[in-house]
């Protein structure tokens, strides 16, 4: 892993240089390795004057101490830190974590907008057969083609489940997750 991590900053420099040949205006967001959580490989943040770093967090303690390394990196670079993904946790955790982010001047984005069940802005109701068809196939062993073929659901039933999922995903068929919306400091009653 250290070898791969070492290669990230030079890659970011080359990518940033390429982007700047066509766009000198927009901010470029750079994430740390290991799911945007490790900033140790970065030693030079002066190669462009319009970059910022982004991090992610889904669990652990909802405290400033839990993200102390992000805050320290942000402070050492004098660049903004942006929590590009939070969510997929309890409403209580998320509310407490949003408080921590705001207290530490770190902007954030929720994740995701829609998904099956809760922990999102708009919950999608599971279609009939979803677990036995789609989830079972996704979680089945995939060590060989024969494993994949053995786990493959009936084509017609899978198509029906996926069509039902598309219909359930339509905005008007989703259920607003008001607790989740409140937890990220938004008003669920604003349209």
Pick among 1.10.10.10, 3.20.20.80, 3.20.20.70, 3.40.1440.10: CATH of 2-118+175-183: 3.20.20.80
Q: How far is CA 181 from CA 2, 125, 140, 173, in A?
A: 38, 17, 33, 17
Is the CB of residue 69 less than 8 Å from the CB of residue 39?
Answer: yes
Separation CA 15–CA 10 (nearest Å): 9
Is the CB of residue 69 less than 8 Å from the CB of residue 41?
Answer: no
pLDDT tens, residue by residue, 136-170: 999 999 899 999 999 999 999 999 999 999 999 99
Separation CA 119–CA 132 (nearest Å): 22
Question: Where are the chain's structural domains?
Answer: 2-118+175-183, 126-173
Average model confidence (pLDDT) across the chain: 92
pLDDT tens, residue by residue, 100-129: 999 999 999 888 888 887 788 899 999 988
Amino acid 191: pLDDT: 60
pLDDT tens, residue by residue, 3-13: 889 999 999 99
Amino acid 34: pLDDT: 94
Nearest alpha carbon to residue 70 among 84, 87, 89: 84
pLDDT tens, residue by residue, 25-50: 999 999 999 999 999 999 999 999 99
């Amino acid at each position: 892993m250290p070898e791969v991590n070492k290669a990230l900053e030079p890659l970011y420099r080359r990518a940033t240089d390429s982007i700047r040949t066509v766009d000198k205006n927009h901010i470029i967001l750079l994430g740390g390795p290991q799911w945007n959580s490790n900033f140790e490989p970065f030693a030079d943040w002066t190669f462009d004057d319009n970059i910022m770093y982004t991090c992610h967090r889904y669990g652990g303690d909802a405290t400033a101490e839990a993200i102390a390394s992000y805050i320290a990196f942000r402070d050492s670079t004098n660049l903004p830190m942006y929590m590009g993904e939070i969510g997929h946790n309890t409403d209580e955790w998320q509310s407490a974590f949003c408080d921590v982010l705001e207290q530490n001047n770190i902007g954030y984005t929720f994740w995701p907008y829609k998904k099956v069940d809760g922990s999102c802005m708009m919950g999608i109701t599971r279609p009939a057969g979803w677990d036995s068809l789609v989830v079972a196939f996704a979680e089945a062993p995939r060590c060989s083609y024969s494993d994949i073929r053995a786990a493959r659901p009936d084509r017609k039933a899978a198509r029906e489940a996926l069509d039902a999922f598309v219909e359930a995903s339509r905005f008007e068929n989703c259920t607003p997750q008001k607790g989740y919306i409140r937890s990220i400091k938004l008003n669920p009653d604003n349209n």
